[in-house]
Amino acid sequence: MGRFIRMAANYRLTPNAALPLHLPAASLPTAAAFRKLPRAMAVYTAFGNRLTHTGTRLGLQAANGSYRIGTQSFHVVPHGDLPHGHRYAGGYKEADPAIRQGNDLFPAFSAFLHETLLFGWCRQAGARQRIAVDYVPVGDADRSRRLGPLKTEHIDEDTAIAVDSCIGGGDLTAAADGRQNRLVIVSGFRPGETAAAHVWLRPNIMTELYTTETPVGGRSQPLDDLPKSMPAFRRLLRRFGGLEDDLIDNLSHGRVRLDG
């Protein structure tokens, strides 16, 4: 949860957008309450009420058999409810269980938190999130194929945080388990990082690079205006042959968008 707290601070969810996050003794769950929840959710209850997004506190609340954080409602999916052979069954952790929100499925509560932060809790004043690059390799099968490993392969946690989900995978009785969605967080979760940046590998062919960094301006190449984010993007992409060239250096199938 330490990495999530650092991300939350970069998105201005912590008091005064500052760390460390001070927790009053009264905010800590009792031992009995801690035992009633999966460990990751219990840990979140210790600090969730200290986070706010546009005036709404982000504490964890039970709600008629489900749970709610702010305006986001969700259900815990027990391991036994996942169909045999489901992509999330093999690595299931009771301490960090699968989550269903609407018709979407997450392999873990921690994955749900990170995706909700990047898609839902990203509008706090002072934490503007912008698209650095749109990449759509339509009609180029080779470039599309090169994206495959980044969408599916394991990524070492020292390199980035891979956040997976199944779009349309919340219907556990369906024959298919949904379209795979992946976010890869490359910056903002390590001590001292002040810009959060991630790659969004959409279920369709589009890939986008996002950052909270404000462009410094004045560089000859627009992406050089992001001196904190671009090195982090490059470190990830060069591990997957050709992607650094495709998405940054030779962007023939996309566009730079530092104004959005």
Model confidence pLDDT, tens digit, residues 208-228: 999 999 888 766 677 888 899
Same-domain status, 135 and 219: yes
39 within some domain = yes
Same-domain status, 222 and 191: yes
Of 119, 139, 162, the last residue of a domain is 119
Residue given tokens 């990047």 in the structure block? 118
pLDDT at 177: 57
Same-domain status, 87 and 110: yes
Same-domain status, 60 and 176: no
Same-domain status, 6 and 94: yes
What pTM was estimated for this model as a whole?
0.90
Supply the DSSP string of the chain, one letter for each residue: -HHHHHHHHHTT-SGGG-SS----GGGSPPHHHHHHS-HHHHHHHHHGGG-EETTEE--EEEETTEEEETTEEEEEE-GGGSPTT-TTTTT--TTS-EEEETTEEESSHHHHHHHHHHHTS---TT---EEEEEE--TT-HHHHHHHHHHHHS---TTT-EEEEEEET---TTSSS--EEEEEEEEESSSTT----EEEEE-SSS-EEEEE-PPP----SSGGGG-TTHHHHHHHHHTTSTTHHIIIIIT-TTEEE-S--
- Is pLDDT at 196 greater than 90 in this prediction? yes
Same-domain status, 247 and 155: yes
Residue 158, phi then psi, degrees to nearest 5: -75, -20
Burial class (CB in 10 A: 0-12, 13-18, 19+), 149: middle
Per-residue pLDDT tens digits for 18-37: 788 887 777 777 788 778 89
pLDDT at 247: 85
Same-domain status, 156 and 204: yes
Of 85, 119, 153, the last residue of a domain is 119
pLDDT at 113: 98
Range of the domain at 196: 130-256
Q: What percent of the chain has pLDDT over 90?
A: 52
Per-residue pLDDT tens digits for 47-68: 999 999 999 999 999 977 899 9
Tell me how far apart the alpha carbons of residues 207 and 183 are, in angstroms, rounded to a whole number: 10
Per the structure, the count of domains in the chain is 2
Same-domain status, 154 and 105: no
- Rounded mean pLDDT of the chain? 87
Same-domain status, 110 and 195: no
Same-domain status, 19 and 72: yes
Measured from the Cβ of residue 66, the count of other Cβ atoms closer than 10 Å reads 13
68 within some domain = yes
Same-domain status, 222 and 192: yes
Residue given tokens 């379209």 in the structure block? 179
210 within some domain = yes
Per-residue pLDDT tens digits for 152-178: 899 998 899 999 999 876 677 664 556
125 within some domain = no
Burial profile 175-190: b = 16 or more Cβ within 10 angstroms, e = fewer: eebbebbbbbbbbbbe
152 within some domain = yes
What confidence category does residue 245 fall into, taking pLDDT thresholds of 50, 70 and 90? confident
99 within some domain = yes
Whether the CB-CB separation of 193 and 204 falls below 8 Å is answered with no
124 within some domain = no
Same-domain status, 135 and 249: yes
225 within some domain = yes
- Is pLDDT at 148 greater than 70 in this prediction? yes
Of 119, 149, 181, the last residue of a domain is 119
